Amino acid sequence: MLPLYVVNNHGQFNHLIQRMLRDMDIPTTMIANDTPPADLARGCRGIFLGGGPTLDRTGVAADYLDLGLPVLGICLGLHIIATARGGAVRRGASGGFGAVEVDILEHNDILQGYPDRIPVWASHADEVSVVPEGFIRLAESAICGVEAIASPGERLYGVQWHPEVSHTVNGRLLFENFDRICSE
């Protein structure tokens, strides 16, 4: 089985994404965000766009969205998806990392199995302010109107929170759902 790639966008938690996948016995490889897109198309069955400090340091990660592979963006990865598809990102009013209660608006394939409200760990230093055309807003919170989005037809998904950290309740389920999507 081909692995899932974790794109390293210089974030402090990218190794935790890879660790959680390995703990789930899901083959995974971390790659640099300047890896040529053609190399990804041949070597994996899905892509995680990991977090990082700024959109200015995301290399060619936005080009990976056009490979026809499923993509799950986490935090900055969500921002890459949103801006690459015509949405917008702004500074968040709530700032850095902390606990947030997220309300699930749409229980689609990526959020299947979650209750209507989940406690998560997220950074809101930046957040999506305009959802790209053709995307569905999947979740919101009291401090952020766009906690998760999806373009199911393209199999592009993004979440503002960090499912890979222990502070997020049942973050593993998000990875299980994405692994299933990548296996379909």
Which candidate in 79, 144, 147, 164 is catalytic? 164
Q: Is 75 a residue of the active site?
A: yes
- SS3 of residue 116 by DSSP: coil
- SS3 of residue 48 by DSSP: strand
Q: Are 46 and 182 in contact (CB under 8 A)?
A: yes
Q: How far apart are CA 175 and CA 179, in angstroms?
A: 6
**What secondary structure letter does DSSP report for 132?**
P
Query: Facing residues of 89 across strands?
Result: 128
Q: How far apart are CA 108 and CA 94, in angstroms?
A: 27
Q: Is 162 a residue of the active site?
A: yes
Q: Is 164 a residue of the active site?
A: yes
Residue with tokens 């986490």: 74
Which candidate in 44, 124, 147, 162 is catalytic? 162
Relative to beta strand 156-159, strand 88-104 is unpaired
Which candidate in 75, 127, 144, 147 is catalytic? 75
Which active-site residues does the annotation give? 75, 162, 164
